[in-house]
Amino acid sequence: MIQTMSISCRTDNRDLLERSLRAVWHPCSQMKHYENFPLVPMARGNGVWLHDYDGRRYLDAVSSWWVNLFGHCNPRINAAITDQLGRLEHVMLAGFTHEPVVQLSERLRGLAPEGLGHCFYASDGASATEIALKMSAHYWRAIGKPGKTQFISLENSYHGETLGALSVTDIALFRDAYGMLIRQQSTVPSPDWRKAAAQEKGEGESAEACALRCADALEQYLRLHHADLAAFIIEPLVQGAAGMAMYHPVYLQRARQLCDAYGVHLIADEIAVGMGRTGTMFACEQADISPDFLLISKGITGGYLPLSVVMTHDEIYRAFYADETSRGFLHSHSYTGNPLACRAALATLDIFIQDDVLASNRIKAAYLNQIATPLRDHHAVRNWRNTGMIWAFEVVSPHRDFAQRCFALALQNELLLRPIGSTVYFMPPYVIGNPEIELLVNGTFHIINQLS
């Protein structure tokens, strides 16, 4: 303890930045770019704020890659983890069990759509995708349909970056470099509302009509290929990494009907959109559907510890229940069901109830929308959209490196924004207050003014 404190006292921004560039390989980065756009050393966090070593602060408007729900260093989550630390930090989950993982599984079953009775655990989102793909294909083999081994996803989908997850991810930047390593899967048209033709002029297709047209394309694909297909994996309501592409819930309803009709599993990847992000606990609720697999991660621990869950339909679980080991689901991770992470998740679920979070988020979202009119009407802003606690819009800018400039300029204005190409988005922690919402919206207006 004494040693760590003395380390943090000696450190300043520049020192940490230089040491990091010498020793750490940062994710999702061209390391050389850090020569021009330096890393931002962070010393501590508090609520929506991150603080560096030089006394500057940044409003975490992207919830630290979409994971944080109730702010940094939340006292209630801290207390739960600290309590668990004094009891049991970890035990393997094969052959053993513990109270936090049982409670979490029971509570998630109570919250999730109907029929998702069993929870399988891993440590990150990509692993949850891998698990669902393996379970789905294994299920079909177990019931005598071994030919069903293919998967489909939406155009521009993102389901993680391990090799299996990458095969159902359709973001060129992430996939092209590793194309030779993955088993290519097919995509079907995305119901992305932005594609609804000429909608700006009010003469185009409605979001609903666009969703129905794309559902017809899905049906055509399923009709031809269902015999080979194990599952259709989808990000419900919002395709995050695609640039917060939002779509009408009727697409999910049609997808559910079609997957039932053609005997294909529906995997709902709620890694980004679950845990209240779209306004309901799970995005699938807004289409009133229950998927065969529900993937949860990111916000589940409030952004504290790596944990992911694959919730599985009872019928699928039963197909694995047999005398032979080989019929079981043969998959494991060292930290499966880690008790500290489960306690963080339980504390997170408690906060949803204690603070009536979904209701209070509706009020916050309405306030943001109300004060955002000038930003929304800005001449450089296109496709303003909002679902729950996610906002996004495109910016028409003469700068080819708009995303990097916007990130840098935002930091100067106490904001942590991380555009995806020309798409600026807000995905703030749910503890954001009105003064901070004002700072976010007004600061962004100011930034867009300078970059357009």
The verdict on 139 binding ligand PLP (CB under 6 A) reads no
Report how far residue 429's alpha carbon sits from residue 70's, in angstroms, rounded to the nearest whole number. 6
Nearer to ligand PLP, 159 or 256 (CB): 159
Contact between 171 and ligand PLP by CB under 6 A: the answer reads no
For the record, the structure tokens of 155 come out as 């155009």
Compare residues 47 and 191 and give the one whose CB is closer to ligand PLP: 191
Burial of 159 from C-beta contacts in 10 A (0-12 / 13-18 / 19+): buried
Burial 220-246 (b: 16+ CB within 10 A, else e): ebbeeebeebbbbbbbbbbbbbbbbbb
Rule CB under 6 A: which of 275-304 touch ligand PLP?
297-298
Indicate which single residue of 132, 242, 271, 389 sits in contact with ligand PLP (rule: CB under 6 A): 271
Cα separation of 387 and 372, whole Å?
15
Considering beta carbons, is residue 259 or 271 the nearer one to ligand PLP?
271
- Residue 420 Cβ vs ligand PLP, minimum distance, rounded to whole Å: 12
Q: Find the binding residues for ligand PLP in span 314-333 (CB under 6 A).
A: none
Residue 299 vs 443, nearer CB to ligand PLP: 299
Number of neighbouring beta carbons within 10 Å of residue 260 = 12
The pattern of x and - marking residues 84 through 123 that bind ligand PLP according to CB under 6 A reads ----------------------------------------
Nearer to ligand PLP, 127 or 150 (CB): 127
**Binding residue count for ligand PLP, defined by CB under 6 A:** 14
Task: Verify binding: residue 159, ligand PLP, rule CB under 6 A.
Answer: yes
Binding pattern for the stretch 189-228 against ligand PLP, x by CB under 6 A and - elsewhere: ----------------------------------------
Tell me the backbone φ, ψ of residue 80, rounded to 5 degrees: -65, -45
Considering only the stretches 39-47, 94-102, 152-160, 181-189, report the one whose residues sit in contact with ligand PLP under the rule CB under 6 A.
Answer: 152-160
28 or 180: CB nearest ligand PLP: 28
Cα distances from 152 to residues 144, 183, 221, 315, in angstroms, run 21, 12, 9, 22
**Contact flag: residue 269 with ligand PLP (CB under 6 A):** yes
Report the alpha-carbon distance of residue 345 to residue 328 in Å, rounded: 27
Query: Which neighbouring-strand residues pair with 47?
Result: 72
Longest dimension (CA), the chain: 67
User: What does the DSSP assignment read for 279-327?
Assistant: SSSSGGGGGT---SEEEE-GGGGTTSS--EEEEEEHHHHHHT-SSSGGG
Q: How many CB atoms within 10 Å of residue 213?
A: 15
For the bound state, the minimum distance from the C-beta of residue 35 to ligand PLP, rounded and expressed in Å, comes to 26
**Interacting stretch for ligand PLP, rule CB under 6 A, among 32-40, 269-277, 281-289, 336-344?**
269-277
Smallest distance from the beta carbon of 295 to ligand PLP, in angstroms? 7
Q: Does 160 bind ligand PLP (CB under 6 A)?
A: yes
Q: Could you tell me the smallest distance in angstroms from the CB atom of residue 150 to ligand PLP?
A: 19
**Under the criterion CB under 6 A, does residue 125 sit at the interface with ligand PLP?**
yes
Does 272 engage in binding with ligand PLP (CB under 6 A)?
Answer: yes
For 409, the token pair is: 């300029």
The yes or no reply on residue 175 touching ligand PLP (CB under 6 A) is: no
Distance separating alpha carbons of residues 251 and 230, to the nearest angstrom: 20
41, amino acid identity: P
- Site for ligand PLP (CB under 6 A): which residue of 139, 158, 247, 304? 158
Backbone angles phi, psi at 16, to 5 degrees: -70, -40
Torsion angles phi and psi, residue 254, rounded to 5: -65, -40
Q: List residues binding ligand PLP (CB under 6 A).
A: 124-126, 129, 158-160, 235, 240, 269, 271-272, 297-298
